[in-house]
Amino acid sequence: MSELHYMSLLDLTKRMHAGEISPVEVTKAQLQRIESLDPGLKSFALVTPELALKQAKAAEADIMRGDIKGPLHGAPIGLKDLCWTRGITTTGGMTLYADFKPPEDAAVTAKLEQAGTICLGKLKNTEGAYTDHHPLVTPPVNPWNAEHWSGVSSSGSGVATAAGLCFGSLGTDTGGSIRFPSAANGLTGLKPTWGRVSRYGVFELAATLDHVGPMTRSAADAAAMLSAIAGPDAKDPTAAQRPIPDYLSEMVKGLQGLKIGIDSAFNAPGLDHPTAAALSSSVEVIKALGGDIREVAFPDIEAVLADWLAACAAETAVAHEATYPGRKEEYGPGLAGVIDVGRNLSAMELQKVILRRNDFRGRVAAFFQDVDLLIVPAQSIASPTLDRIATLSEDIPLMRGLMRFTSIFNMSGNPTITLPCGFTEAGTPIAFQFVSDHWGEDKLFRAGYAFQQATKWHLRHPAM
């Protein structure tokens, strides 16, 4: 079973459904791999072998009867430790919740179980899903190069999926937290439209900025996972009452007929050479595939980029009102600091942020009247080292370079797909994004699948 750990999720389950591979044996092999490798990678907050084997036995029995629940049935996955699991410790990366066992599953947890997935455990995230791990928590280690950043906040999801410890995972994204670890670890990450996926039972960082989505090793796997978790939810009235496209059928349609914008002036500021070169090569691939590339002018982002911190801080302060400042001593400095910013904002300051954000959302919606997709880097700086990330709070160009192409699409709510597209001299991955209009995930999967049919970046794996 050891040779299966880097197989795509859909290839794995296809073989399971054909009776060629046992879900129980695969799950046992994955648990052994976690036991062997994760002491060094530190991606899991909690491994759940009893639950995994129970679900694997149930999946195997269902499949043997011909009762196949869908393309995910039998797939061993991991859940970001923000996602509630009934009766199983869920900490949100916070020592404050070290003993918290939710009374019910998150909506996404329940939907993945209904789809027949096998939960291997809970994957580490930064404290409360903000920028830093709690001082008492050891961050996950980048499997490509331990001296390089593994991304935040869904760092455990990124590391475990890239290292073959699970076949896919859930992440959340408030300012880049699906996209940063996807880029850092060579994964395909899908940040859906805000409202496409229920947030019920997922620890909140900033309600109107939080997105829940899949982190996988291919666009096809991401399409299958989004199909399972998307849709309305009676417990989350912000989950949209919209039909879910058949993403797996749609993704094979290719790039023909899609108008793809690129704003060279928008992409250029602060872009380092490895990222610029990888992006340029990717654009040439897209052209060769028949993509209708056209030069465009994206709306100005400077105000909304600066406003992200205030918007996030205010909503984070609300999310932690019950425990902060009452239990402030249990918070790390990063999360406590952003809550303090939020608590000190005036009503007038916050209203100005809201007005500028609404203006930007309108301009972005108008922009996508003329194009189907936009190409942007995942971040301006490819694979920063841990030493450089340690200076993040003082290094404003680095902070802006990381956030420039991510946080603005949390402010607008647009969906994006992150795709590996090259490697640095240090052997670490580089990525870019397609962005679409609201509810345009089907177009993102078309573009991502076409790109991955023509390239092999997503097929490279760390030597573990």
The token duo for 131 is: 């920028």
d(CA 193, CA 196) in angstroms, rounded, equals: 5
The answer for residues whose C-beta is within 8 angstroms of residue 394's C-beta and 6 or more apart is: none
The set of catalytic residues is 80, 153, 177
The answer for residues whose C-beta is within 8 angstroms of residue 295's C-beta and 6 or more apart is: 261, 262, 263, 264
3-class DSSP string for 26-66? HHHHHHHHHHHHHHHHCCEEEECHHHHHHHHHHHHHHHHCC
| DSSP 3-state percent helix, strand, coil across the chain (nearest 5) | 45, 15, 40
d(CA 123, CA 158) in angstroms, rounded, equals: 9
Query: CA 420, 289, 428: angle at the middle one, nearest 5?
Result: 15
d(CA 90, CA 176) in angstroms, rounded, equals: 22
Task: Identify residue 158 by its one-letter amino acid code.
Answer: G
* Residues 222 and 161 sit within 8 Å (Cβ to Cβ): no
Phi-psi region of 239 (alpha: psi -120 to 50; beta: other; left: phi over 0): beta
* Residues 450 and 188 sit within 8 Å (Cβ to Cβ): no
Measure the N-to-C terminal CA separation of the chain; round to a whole number of Å.
Answer: 15
Tell me how far apart the 2 most distant CA atoms of the chain are, in Å. 63
Q: Is the dihedral of CA 313, 319, 322, 328 positive or negative?
A: negative
Query: If residue 307 lies in a helix (H) or strand (E), which one and from where to where?
Result: helix 302-319
Backbone φ, ψ for residue 305 (5° rounding): -65, -45
DSSP E strands in 88-165: the ranges are 118-123
Q: How far is the CA of 318 from the CAs of 205, 206, 323, 325, 338, in angstroms?
A: 9, 8, 10, 11, 11
The token duo for 247 is: 């993403």
